[in-house]
Amino acid sequence: MNLKDLFNGEKTVFSFEIFPPKRDADINTIYTTLDQLHYLDPDFISVTYGASGSLANNSTCEIASAIKKQYCLEAAAHLTCVNSTREEIDIMLERLANAGIDNILALRGDRVPDVPPKEDFPHASDLIRYIRASHYDFGISAACYPEGHPDSPDMIDDIRNLKLKVDAGAEHLISQLFLDNGMFYSFLEKARIAGINVPIEAGIMPVVNKKQIERMVTLCGATLPEKFIKMMEKFEHKPEAMRDAGIAYATNQIVDLLAHGVDGIHLYTMNNPYIARRICQNVKTLF
Ligand code: FAD
């Protein structure tokens, strides 16, 4: 099923993101995670691909295929392009198609330090155009950035480039995490004015420890609202309190987003079924 067909106005879409185990870790740990996540009945689960600057991880395809075949849920495989040649992308597309994957989240990816990027696909829009022009019939999603991508000089430039991705064939967008819903609403307004009319899912990451948010802020530059900073300061040395406060913060964000009628919520689960379950218990009846 093409993910865009989930956005049919019947209900707000609720999806999860997971990442494959690290290269030297046991692949089966992800199936233990999925055993628990699938009971929460998300509309789809997306699987990252070599995220955070690690080398491309080929288990993305295998895990996305298991989500469809073993867990009977819709799946999206992330695919990055900046460190891949056209031939490598061809191989991945064939693998994904053969594995029965219907949806790709097409990304540029982060540049790997000390490794010069390949030249075939400088931007996600190049990959999206390439997939669209291929003989495959994948649903194509792309990333968007409520606070602008860190490489962008300003929001206008970033939205202009986002429009290029949609014009190239992206049918659905998933946002970077944000902690201030106001930033998401402001982004949404600008995107709609720019003529970006595809469904846009809000990316929510429950922040349950200080190290996690420091790492994410370094990577994506998310703004930390005053009330969030206060929460971190108060609970950072009490792990259980910090966890519960992080779950409550994410719950409040989701309730407010649903009240504002967003197209969907994409939960960055961090492969933690306990936290995903607690959030689902809080908000499931609201969808
Ligand atoms: P692009 O859309 O190419 O944008 C990157 C920058 O280039 C932006 O500043 C943009 O404005 C600019 N730009 C775009 N097109 C043009 C153009 N034609 N001319 C000039 N400038 C342009 N990373 C991973 O490695 N693996 C993952 O699985 C992964 N999953 C992600 C999922 C989500 C929902 C999100 C939000 C991010 C994810 N990332 C992942 C991170 C992502 O790869 C990085 O943010 C990366 O730096 C940019 O990817 P992009 O696809 O948004 O790039």
% of the chain beyond a pLDDT of 90: 86
> Which residues form the domain of 275?
3-286
Arithmetic mean of pLDDT, 10-26: 92
Give the residues surrounding ligand 1 with Cβ less than 6 Å away. Answer: 48-51, 78, 80, 105, 107-110, 123-125, 143, 149, 151-152, 157-158, 161, 164-165, 174, 176, 203
User: Annotated catalytic, 17?
Assistant: yes
Here the tokens at position 89 are: 């992308």
CATH of the domain at 183: 3.20.20.220
For the cut 70, the answer to whether the pLDDT of residue 200 exceeds it is yes
Q: What angle in degrees, to the nearest 10, is found between the helix axes of 28-37 and 273-283? A: 10
Structure tokens at 116: 């010069």
Q: pLDDT value at position 116? A: 86
**CB neighbours (10 Å) of residue 270?**
16
Reply yes or no on whether the pLDDT at 145 is more than 70: yes
Q: How many Å lie between the centroid of ligand 1 and the Cα of residue 245?
A: 30
> Does the complex come out with an ipTM higher than 0.90?
yes
Closest ligand 1 atom, CA of 151?
9
Model confidence at 7, in pLDDT bands (50, 70, 90)?
Answer: very high
Spatial separation of the C-alpha atoms in residues 165 and 124, rounded to whole Å: 7
Amino acid 53: pLDDT = 43
- Residue 52 has a pLDDT of 47
- pLDDT of 273 higher than 80: yes
The whole-number average pLDDT for the span 258-264 is 98
From 17, 74, 147, 171, the catalytic residue: 17
pLDDT confidence tier of residue 175, bands split at 50, 70 and 90? very high
Q: How would you class 52 by CB atoms within 10 Å of its CB: exposed for 0-12, middle for 13-18, buried for 19 or more?
A: exposed
Any bridge partners for residue 103, and if so which? 139
Indicate yes or no: pTM above 0.95. Answer: yes
**Which residue among 16, 145, 149 has the greatest number of ligand 1 atoms within 8 angstroms of its CB, and so is best to mutate?**
149
**How remote is the C-alpha of 21 from its chain's centroid?**
17
One DSSP character per residue, 50-102 reads: S-TTPPP-THHHHHHHHHHHTT--EEEEEEE-TT--HHHHHHHHHHHHHTT--
Handedness of CA 164, 17, 59, 57 (dihedral sign): positive
Residue bearing the bigger pLDDT, 181 or 210: 181
Substitution site in 123, 131, 166, 176 for ligand 1 pocket (most atoms within 8 Å of beta carbon): 123
One-letter amino acid of 64: A
| Mean pLDDT for all residues in the chain | 94
* Residue 54: predicted pLDDT: 45
Q: What is the pLDDT of residue 218?
A: 84
Number of domains in the chain: 1
Model pLDDT for residues 74-129, shown as the tens digit of each residue: 999 999 999 999 999 999 999 999 999 999 999 999 888 888 888 999 999 999 99
Q: Are 107 and 144 in contact (CB under 8 A)?
A: no
pLDDT at 55: 45
pLDDT tops 60 at residue 149:
yes
Looking from the CA of residue 176, the nearest atom of ligand 1 is: 36
Average pLDDT over residues 7-21: 96
